[in-house]
Chain A
Amino acid sequence: MLSEYLPVVIQLLIAIGFAAFVLIVTHILGPKRYDPIKHDTYECGVDYYGNAQRKFAIKFYIISVLFVLFDVEVIFLYPWAINLVDLGWQGFWGMFVFLGILTFAILFAWKKGALEWE
Chain B
Amino acid sequence: MSEITIHHYIALSAIIFSIGVAGVLTRKNAIILFMSIELMLNSSNLALIAFASFMSNPVGQIFALFVIAVAAAEVGVGLAIIVTVYRNRNSINIDDVHLMKG
Contact = CB atoms under 8 A, between A and B. Distances in A.
B76 A69 contact: yes
Contacts of B68: 72, 75
A75 B69 CA distance: 9
A48 interface: no
Contacts of B75: 68
Interface residues of B, number: 11
A58 B76 CA distance: 13
Interface in B44-92: 65, 68-69, 72-73, 75-76, 79-80, 83, 87
A71 B80 contact: no
Interface string A45-73: 00000000000001001000100110110
Contact of B72 (A58, A61, A71): A71
Report which residue of A65, A71, A76 has the largest number of chain B beta carbons within 10 angstroms of its beta carbon: A65
B83 A72 contact: no
A76 B69 CA distance: 9
A61 B83 contact: yes
Given A68-B72, A72-B68, A72-B73, 4 more contacts: A58-B87, A61-B80, A75-B68, A76-B69
Interface of A: 58, 61, 65, 68-69, 71-72, 75-76
| Nearest 4 A/B pairs, CB to CB | A65-B76, A72-B72, A72-B69, A68-B72
